[in-house]
Every structure is written in structure tokens, then in C-alpha cells.
Chain A
Amino acid sequence: MKVEWPTEKIPGSIGSIVLGKTAEDGGTRKVSYTIGGGKSMPFIRAENGTPNRPRIAMEVHSAKPDFKAMAAEELAGVLDDPVAWAKACENDWGADLVCLKFTGANPDGEDCSVDETAALAKEVLGSVGVPLMFYGCGDESKDSQIMSAIGDMIRPEGAVIGVAEADSYKSMAAAAIAFNTHLVSFSNLDINLAKQLNILLLEYDFPAERIIMDPLQGALGYGVEYSFSVIERIRLAALAGDKTIQMPMICDASVGNNYREAYEPSDIWGEANTRSILWEGVTAMSSLTGGADLVIIRCPSSTKYINRMLDRLMGGGD
């Protein structure tokens, strides 16, 4: 008996975005990638669900983070040297992008100055060739100063900045407009909130084709079921034709490292390092299976394995 592929009417599709600009486009990145563009649910070949390979951005923190177990071990040599860290992501660990998180700038933490932070951004920009993402510290006024300080430098690079949240999106959006970057719109595990924030941005005249949505990633065992379903619902709504929610999605799977199963030694849970890679890895696979176009990853080993899974999900077949 003949089995036909169970086609469905799919009126919408995911927008696509080019990350990074090479010399050809006036930037200094060595590579650039198109993400998004999906015409169905992820990895469905007959419907072109994933025409562009989802990408991995490895995170780099501007101040030495307090990582545990596998993350601490694998990143030991670079944790207090963001530039070396970023270089290793590119050269040794298979990152497609580097996501520089300005955690050190937080006024409640180390409170690094705007100048210091901008100088670091400059050095990272000059040290790696992959496209870059710049994440603020969460303090609105500090972040807006930082983005202004690095704006001219990153303007030609096709960079991504983040994150814009519902209660403070204007300063980030203004920076992204002024400096010609993409913008991450971050909402709290709710399709309607994701949509609302996009609408706010669009009403603020922010170009739809420069928005990347972050619907908040819950970790394996700690909310992954909520994020999995929100990601799927967003993707389905986009495919159903809702233009306000057709932007590519980013998920920060590094949260997978933050829970005890990922780092605590245990007599019952088995060997901790393997567990740790899997905690981040399964978290990331849930976002990718749901519809993420870009994931943020912490551990080099997780990056290696997720790349392998992507090879296998994207490759083969007809």
C-alpha cells in the first residue's frame, strides 16, 4: 500500500535572519549564518521544517562566574579571561556564535564600569571571527549605557543584542535600531506574552525581520515541560500564519547547568560529569525539537554532542 506523507496546510512560515556580517557586507566576521525560514515543525524534511541548521551560541561571562562541576572543570582555564574564553569557543569547542553576557556590569554585583565593559567587548570582537551576541546585565539604565558605548563598534557586524523585556523594551529597542543590530525579545513562558512584546516592538517601529524571540527556557526537571509546550505553541501559531510571532526563536539551554542533578555528586544518580552534559544536552534537545533556531550553551562537551545530534537530524534521508 502506498503511504502518502500526511501533508497539512501550512499557511505561515518562520522568518529568516542573517547573523553576522562578513567583509562582503561591510563587517569583520569570518562567517555568517542564516537561521529560521522553517516551513513546518522542526526537522520535518517533506515540508522543509528546518531549511537552515539551528546554531549554537556559546556563552561567555564578563565576570568570573561561580560555575560548578562539569562547567567549572571544562572551562577552568578561561573562566576569568573572557577573551580567551571566547577564542576557545570559536577555535576549540565548535561554537557557531559567541554570546557575551555582561554579568560583571551588574550594579548589585561587581559593578564593572561602562568603559571597562565596552573595552572588553571590543577585545572580544577583535579576537574572534564568529558572529556575536551581547547580553546586558539586567539593569536597564546600565545596559542602555553599555549598548550606547559599544554601538558604533558593533554596528557593521550583524550582531545580536538582548534582552528586551515587556517593562523595559524601549531602551534596548532604541539601541538596536540605532546600531543596526538584531534584538532578542524575552518573555515569560507564555505565548500571549511573547506575542504582546513583539507587538509592542512592532508598534515602536522595530523591524520584524530583526527580532529573535526568547520564550524562556526551563531546565530538564525544572520547567522543561512548560517551555517545550510554549515553544511548540509559538511555532504552530507562526505556521498557522500569525505574523506577529513568526520570528526565529532562541533558547538559553545553559540553565540546564543550574540544577543539582547537573552538578551534585551522588551515590544514586551516577557519574556526575556525564549527568551534567546530559542535563544541558537534553534541555537543548527539547528546545530544538520544539522549534528553537538558536540555542545558548555553556559546556564544551554539550556543544559537541548537540552539534552531532544536529548533524544527524539534518543529514541523511532524501
Chain B
Amino acid sequence: MGLSAIEIYKLLPKTNCGECGVPTCLAFAMQLANMKVELSACPHVDAAGEEALGAASAPPIKLVTVGDGEGKLELGDETVLFRHEKTFYHAPPLVGVVEDGWDADAIKTRAADVKALVFDRVGREEGMNAVAVWHTSGDMAAAATTAKEASGMPLVLIGSDEGAMKAALGAVGGDKPLIVSAEAGSNAAMVALAKEHGCPVAVGSDGGLEGLVDELKAAKDAGVENIVMLMRGELGDLFNDLVAVRRLAINKSFRELGYPSMTIIEGDDEIETTLEAATLLMKYSSMLVLRNYSPELILPMVTIRLNIYTDPQKPIQVKPAIYKVGDPGPDAPFMLTSNFSLTYFSVEGDVDKSKVPSRILVIDTEGLSVLTAFAAGKMEPDKMADAIEASGIADELNHKKLIIPGMIARASGKLAELTGWEIIVGPRESTGIPKFLREL
């Protein structure tokens, strides 16, 4: 939070009354410095202390909400520079684009496509999160209405024409879209509209980070709280600017740049723009507007986002249990795998593909993949044997045959000995499962 425990302590009543739940003001100050407690837990801080501490304990990067109700987006509120230090919290929304100059059908189709573009990744639905309506030459209000109806997603309105934006807000302003001032010259007008409609606003600057500070201050002074930084520039400059604002906000408590940042990725070459977007996602862009659109470009984006924004302390896991694929009878194949989500869903997907109804026993490997768990001693034959015993699977089956992952073929002898089951070594990669099961 920027202030040290001692600095905080000086602002507390120093009466050690204990009402905050810790015995002394100093202990409370230490917890506050580590962001373990909220300032409101102390009922006795005076107004001056509250102001000083309140400002200091506000998150270094503001949390900004876009949209209203279901599917609303949260940007910013990150607390670290590197994900291993804790985790990154708010995965950057990916925003598809429609232009108001397109005909209504094209807008409708694209908006619906953006909504429909959802991938199943490790048991989660991952896709794009908002539609941007870009004002070029058409009727922004009509386009925004169409986009909203076709997608049902939060909207981002991009433009510099005050009249067009006003009309669009008249149509969809109640949904709290993000207003993006496309040119620095239109910042004041767009900020005024944001204030009027209670919407978040994104402003940029042509004058580098120093100019940006001024533009952000102007927006704040105009009474808008939810501000996003529109970051622009050639890739190398942009990368450096994004690193700079993140460091300033987090390491230097530099409030003036403590807002989420958005980038707009443009360019004709879709592979190049996607690599650019992925790079900016890894280095701090809090929202990405993507001009190029198709599944093969978005799948890598949602995947890198999922990877970078998972909690490094806990891999995504599935619950250890017996899972049925299809409607397996007592003679159906029975196999075993780890509880790392990626592993389980790879296997499940391929078993499903085989069209052979089967049972999969997921054993607790603390979220480690098969080989990693095996190497770490979390998938030893005795552990597997215990899990099989505890699952009660024997009562469900007419057979005693277990298929194990090909990567741990080494364990088969011992496992057979411990369980008395016949151990069948499956393919190494789950992609081999359909053929394997059909030929079983």
C-alpha cells in the first residue's frame, strides 16, 4: 500500500484498545501495511488519519467496471508486477469490433459471432467479452443498439464525434458502456458525456506519459471516477509505456497513472497482430480491442490469457472422483488419470471422441499432470491402488481391468501386484485414446 507500518502507526490513535481484533495499534498497522486487514476495522481513527490512510490504502491500480448486470467486466486492480509474486487478478477482456459504417446485417452477424465464439478450456468457457462499436461514418446509435441486441455483451463505444457518441449513449447509455475517446482532442467532450451518463471513460494523449497524466487529471477533475488509460504507439514504445505505468503505480504509488490500461490492436496481418496482442497481454494491457477476428486468432489469445492469469499457487484442478463419459455399463472400459484439469479434460475429450462409454477415475495428485505427479511421487502404485480401493469402483464393474496412461507404463507391474487387477497400458498421448478404445 505504499506506507510502511511505522508510517501508518503514527496516524492511528495509539490507544491499543484492541477493538480492531488485534491487541495493539502497532500490530494493526503491520497488518494494514501487508493488506491483511481493512482500515475500517478500527473505529477510532480520526478524519485526518482516515484521509491519509484511505488514500494510501486504495488499490494502486483502480478497479474499473464496464457494463452492467450479468457479464459486466472488471479491469485493473492488480497488485504485483510479476505473476509469481502473488497472482494477476483481472483477466483482460478481449473486445471484438463492429463499425457503424457497416450495414446492419454485417453488424448483427459480427456481434453475434463475437458472442458465439466460446471455447471450452479446462472445463471453463473462455471467449471474447465485449463488442466495440467504432464510429466511422454511420449511425452510431443504431449500430450500438444492433450490437447490443445481437450480442447481449457489454459495449465499448469508440469515437471522437460528440454528436454520434451522444446519440449512441441515448440508446445504450443505461448499460454503462465504456466510452473511448478516439482522439486526445475529443477527451473533454467524451469525459463530459461519461459524467452525464455515469459511464466509464478511456482517454489517451498525444503527448506521451506526461500528457497522459494531464488528460487523466482533467477527467478526474471533471468528476469521473472510472477512468481507463488508452495506450497507443508503436509496439516497442507501447511495451515500455505499459511497463512504466505498471511500475509507477505499484512500486512508486504514483496515483496519477493508477488506472487500468487498454490497447487497440490494428494492422492487416492477422498473425502479426495476434502475436502483438499476446505480448501486450503478458505485459500489462488490461483490455484489448482486437480488429482482426476469427477463431484461430482468438483461441491462442484466450489460452495465453488463461495461462497468465491463473493463480501460480494453485493449478486448476478437478475433484478426485469417478467420472462417466457417455452411459457406461458394467463392462465398459475403466481408466485412471490425474486431477490436473488440463490432463483430465484432454483425456475426457478424447474418450468422448471415441464414442466408447467409459469410466475415468481421477486421483488426487494435487493438480499435477501425470508425468509430473509420477516424478514427484504423487502417483506411485500404492497411491493409485488405494484410490481404486477407496473409490468402490469394483462394485460397479463386471471386470477387473484398468487402463493406465502410457507415460507411466513403468508402474504397471507393481500396480498389478498391489491390486490384483489386470493393468492395460494405454497410449502415451490422449489423442491415441479413440483408436485404442475402439480396438480394445
Contact pick for B307, options A43, A228, A264, CB 8 Å: A228
Q: How large is the interface on A (under 10, 10 to 19, 20 to 34, 35 or more residues)?
A: 35 or more
Residues in chain B near residue A279, CB distance under 8 A: 300
Given A43-B236, A269-B296, A274-B270: A261 and B248 interface contact (C-beta under 8 Å):
no
Residues in chain B near residue A308, CB distance under 8 A: 272
Shortest Cβ gap from A245 to chain B (Å): 15
Given A3-B209, A224-B307: A317 and B240 interface contact (C-beta under 8 Å):
yes
Q: Which residue of A lies closest to B217 (CB)?
A: A1
Contact B244 A229 (CB under 8 A): no
Shortest Cβ gap from A227 to chain B (Å): 10
Interface check B24, CB cutoff 8 A:
no
Residues in chain A near residue B272, CB distance under 8 A: 305, 308-309
For window 183-241 of B, CB contacts with A under 8 Å fall at 208-210, 213-214, 217, 234-237, 239-240
Number of A-B contacts (CB under 8 A): 148
For window 286-318 of A, CB contacts with B under 8 Å fall at 286, 289, 301, 305-306, 308-309, 312-317
Instruction: From A222, A228, A233, name the one whose CB has the most chain B CB atoms within 10 angstroms.
Output: A228
Residues in chain A near residue B369, CB distance under 8 A: 223
Residues in chain A near residue B278, CB distance under 8 A: 282, 285-286
DSSP majority for the A interface? helix
Contact A272 B252 (CB under 8 A): no
Interface check A242, CB cutoff 8 A:
no
Interface check B58, CB cutoff 8 A:
no
Contact A285 B296 (CB under 8 A): no
Contact A269 B307 (CB under 8 A): no
Residues in chain A near residue B247, CB distance under 8 A: 6, 8
Interface check B391, CB cutoff 8 A:
no
Contact A271 B296 (CB under 8 A): yes
Residues in chain A near residue B294, CB distance under 8 A: 270-271
Interface check A278, CB cutoff 8 A:
yes
Contact pick for A43, options B240, B251, B295, B312, CB 8 Å: B240
Contact B82 A220 (CB under 8 A): no
Given A3-B248, A285-B279, A289-B282: A305 and B256 interface contact (C-beta under 8 Å):
no
Contact B308 A313 (CB under 8 A): no
Contact with A along B71-97 (1 / 0, CB 8 A): 000000000001110000000000000
Contact A221 B307 (CB under 8 A): yes
Beyond A313-B236, A314-B236, 19 additional contacts (C-beta under 8 Å) are A1-B256, A3-B208, A6-B252, A221-B342, A224-B304, A225-B83, A228-B282, A228-B307, A229-B82, A229-B84, A232-B84, A274-B270, A278-B296, A281-B275, A286-B282, A306-B275, A309-B276, A317-B234, A317-B240
